[in-house]
Amino acid sequence: MTELSPQAQAVWDAYELVDCDPYEIDPRIAGLSAALEAVADQVMSPVPPPCEDFDKYAQGFLAAHVKYRSELLAVAADLRGNTTNQEV
């Protein structure tokens, strides 16, 4: 594989290195869930910056990224919540 950017490498590593019990969680879905969480971290830091000094545009931009992060994490949680080892 060609060399990945640090961001892409973080997503790939999350997928490849996920630690799960294959009798409880389908490893493919666990990996996908971990990768989505890593993508969410690339979109927005888990700790957003304080935005009191931001203008309205910057506050809206930050709010959109917080929303995107939340939506990605919700999909990851949904996958993780439905990952009993069954045929996919």
pLDDT digit string, tens, across residues 15-59: 999 888 888 888 899 999 999 999 998 887 777 777 777 888 888
- CA 53 from chain centre, in angstroms, equals 28
Task: Give the SS3 label for residue 87.
Answer: coil
Query: Looking at the 3D structure of the chain, how many domains does it have?
Result: 1
15 and 31 Cβ atoms separated by less than 8 Å: yes
75 and 43 Cβ atoms separated by less than 8 Å: no
Say if 42 falls within a structural domain. Answer: yes
Say if 45 falls within a structural domain. Answer: yes
Say if 88 falls within a structural domain. Answer: no
Say if 1 falls within a structural domain. Answer: no
Say if 29 falls within a structural domain. Answer: yes
Say if 87 falls within a structural domain. Answer: no
Say if 28 falls within a structural domain. Answer: yes
Tens digits of residue pLDDT in 52-72:
778 888 888 888 888 889 999
Q: What is the DSSP letter of 55?
A: -
Full domain range(s) for residue 54: 6-81
